[in-house]
Amino acid sequence: MAQDQPANTQQAATSSSTTPPGIAPGEIVVTAQRRAEALSKVPVSVSAFNTQALQERKINSEADLNSLVPGLNVTVGENASEFDFTIRGQTTDAFSGSPPGVLAYLNEVAISPHSETSTSFYDLASVQVLKGPQGTLFGRNDTGGAVLYTTAQPRTDKVEGYFTGDLGNFAYREAQGAINVPLVKDVLAVRVAGDITTRNGYVDNIFDGKRLGDQNHKSIRATILFKPTSRLTNTLFADYRHIHDTSQNGEIFSAYAVGETNNGFPLTALAAEFYGSAVADAVADQRARGFYKADIWFTPRLNGHGLSVINTTAYDLGSATVKNIFGYSKSFTNEQADLAGGPFGAISLINLNDPTQGNHIWQKTLSDEFQIQGTAGNLKYIAGAYYSHNTEKIVSPVVVGATLPTPVAAFGYNNRYSDLSRAVFAQGTYDLSDLTGLRGLGFTAGIRYTWEKITLSQIEGSAFLGSPEQLTRESKPSWQVGLQEQLNPQLLLYFVTRGSWRAGGFNGTAAPGPTTNTFGPETTHDFEIGAKFAGRAFSMPAHLNIALYDQIVDNAERDIYADVAGHVASLTENIPQATVKGVEADGDIRPIPLLELGFQFAYTHAVWSKPDVVLPGGTSSAASSYENAPKLSGAIFGRIDLPVQEWAGKMWIRADYYAQSHFFFSNFYDTLSPRTRLPHYSLLNLRYQWDLPHNGVSVALWAKNVTDKRYLVGGTAFGPSSGANVAFPGTPRTVGVELGYKF
């Protein structure tokens, strides 16, 4: 629902170079319902930001979206280069067997959850964040929402492009650019873009004197647009990415003593059993050093590369359009980590026979979606069929007590995973104005039915080699019903209720068996009411959006890290029920032509209404805290255009202030995982930009985390397996200068 530009100068959030038919110039255009629509007229909760908005806020990665969208919590996953999204309490955990509850899409194709790197944030036309279950139009696993990335598309009418160069502290260097070339006017065009980013890590590893979090990222993408006729359009997109980093390992945050209990629950103290009081000393030493000095027994590395290819073909039939979206991706990751975050090597992902090797993931996904959408009288509709096949090969060496003269154990979680998904779907919106006499009244209904086939097989080097292949078949519907009323051109009211589900599966880190490593599907339904205003308030251009929701999740898929039959394991279990309620709001106003002010706010009340869960072996526990769901988050911003003479060009200053309340990184704070709460924090970002006249050149000075706030952005509750929990520090103050050129 958030706006991406000053209230009187907003631009489309889609990649189109012109405003789609039926949408007023200046409207934000979104594709939340798989067709181009004005944001202010879409009866669901959406935040959308176009190219200029992303550049103004210096959005470089998923982590930056945290302060951009109310109610979106972005935490680090298995390492500081992998991010997990949480929307309305729906998330996934590090090393989880569960698919994400919030899926990311690139040009309408789902991104694999184990892709080797975060999305390359350059030459993007828009970022859209959809909130609430999205299972009807965006797949069965979107129980919390979806994040849509759209790259800039070629234009067939002119040559254009840009270049941007950045210099900053921590030896930050980034060069990116794009060029668009029409090869045949109005018929064939190509756009090529690339980005190179290097930066020194901001965490020093005192164990060996090296840095954690060094970045060396390279990416290139190309898009070919072919329009042989006025009705037929084909777009071919390819993207290649390569990363070579030192991983920013989690740092030891809390640990458990031998014999310690929490509310009667015995706590695992594996690290303390091996290393005694040195573990508690490591926690104290880490806090005394501060967030940006770690003591990890080796410097872990993260290397990876990936390729994505997407081909979209659309044919205009007049009142309908037939569309096919083909996607292919493959990637490889080699990641090392110490899961206890200290100098001991209590549990490490590393191959001691070859210390350059760690957790390997080979991923390949093939997908295809066929759809037809159009209008028939008062009905707007979309219907289609979907197919995807995702395969992963995982080779994960685990060492327990790596720094001891003789390690306690060394084994592998090596397996091959396959997910075959097929679905059919349909959704329509009917204009009830003629039937009821109420102008602007509409009714929306949609359904999707999905069939899943998931297999897990053990491969050479697995601790469970010889176990039979496991297979599960699942099928369920997703649905949506809504009513909306456009009271006048400025104000939309809506109500929507939706249902979706998340596939069950297998834990690859536990011995195969019907009661040891399996978990069932998660289901959810919600109710949402909202209002969207886009017009003038007291003669001033303004926007105001508000949504209230109530969501129930049954058999929620959540992870717990435990010692199962002598093997440390990440177990996805089904917690019987959760209830999440909340309010989201955002708005902006332009009191004078030179000044824009705005805010964003989210209140999330997430509880486990049925918390009891039985772990493998019959151990019972109860979920208490709700992971990665701060109760309060919000931001305020201001942008002022400086009153300079026309010959000087344009100058402006922008300030963004974001804050969020404390949150937990475990669902078992009062039972198995105490001391897993991270404190609240706030951040201030500033930008000054000078756009020189007539030549397309711009110069900007920027600063993020201006007050150099020390804060933590996430953690992993390995305590129930290793006896120690880790947390990840947020980025300290960064400053830089940016030179841009557009032509």
CATH of the domain at 124: 2.40.170.20
Is residue 105, in this structure, part of any structural domain at all?
yes
Q: Are 490 and 451 in contact (CB under 8 A)?
A: no
Q: Are 304 and 333 in contact (CB under 8 A)?
A: yes
Report which of 695, 637, 581 is spatially closest to residue 49, judged by C-alpha positions.
Answer: 637
Residue numbers of the domain that contains 398: 29-185+205-294+313-612+640-656+667-742
Q: How far apart are CA 568 and CA 95, in angstroms?
A: 12
User: Residue 80: pLDDT above 60?
Assistant: no
Per-residue model confidence as pLDDT tens digits over 332-380? 999 999 988 999 888 899 998 888 889 999 999 999 999 999 999 999 9
pTM over 0.85: yes
Binned at pLDDT 50, 70 and 90, residue 115 comes out as low
Interstrand relation of 663-664 and 145-151 (parallel, antiparallel or unpaired): unpaired
Is residue 705, in this structure, part of any structural domain at all?
yes
Binned at pLDDT 50, 70 and 90, residue 7 comes out as very low
Is residue 693, in this structure, part of any structural domain at all?
yes
Interstrand relation of 124-131 and 46-50 (parallel, antiparallel or unpaired): antiparallel
The residues, ordered by sequence, that sit 6+ positions from 491 with a Cβ below 8 Å of its Cβ are: 531, 532, 533, 535
Is residue 384, in this structure, part of any structural domain at all?
yes
Confidence (pLDDT) at 703: 98
Q: Mean pLDDT over residues 650-661, rounded?
A: 97
What are the Cα distances from residue 378, in Å, to 35, 375, 431, 434?
16, 7, 5, 9
Binned at pLDDT 50, 70 and 90, residue 12 comes out as very low
Binned at pLDDT 50, 70 and 90, residue 14 comes out as very low
Per-residue model confidence as pLDDT tens digits over 92-107? 887 778 888 899 999 9
Q: Mean pLDDT over residues 399-416, rounded?
A: 92
Query: Of 81-85, 89-93, 392-396, 558-562, which has the strongest mean pLDDT?
Result: 392-396
Confidence (pLDDT) at 511: 86
Per-residue model confidence as pLDDT tens digits over 556-596? 999 888 766 666 677 888 999 999 999 999 999 999 999 99
Give the CB-side neighbour count of residue 597, counting CA atoms within 13 A: 4
Is residue 561, in this structure, part of any structural domain at all?
yes
Confidence (pLDDT) at 668: 93
Report which of 291, 297, 301 is spatially closest to residue 213, judged by C-alpha positions.
Answer: 301
Confidence (pLDDT) at 564: 65
Is residue 490, in this structure, part of any structural domain at all?
yes
Q: How far apart are CA 699 and CA 702, in angstroms?
A: 10
Confidence (pLDDT) at 246: 92
Is residue 723, in this structure, part of any structural domain at all?
yes
- Report CA torsion sign: 387, 374, 487, 3: positive
Is residue 386, in this structure, part of any structural domain at all?
yes
Per the structure, the count of domains in the chain is: 1
Per-residue model confidence as pLDDT tens digits over 463-498? 999 999 999 999 999 999 999 999 999 999 999 999
Binned at pLDDT 50, 70 and 90, residue 514 comes out as confident
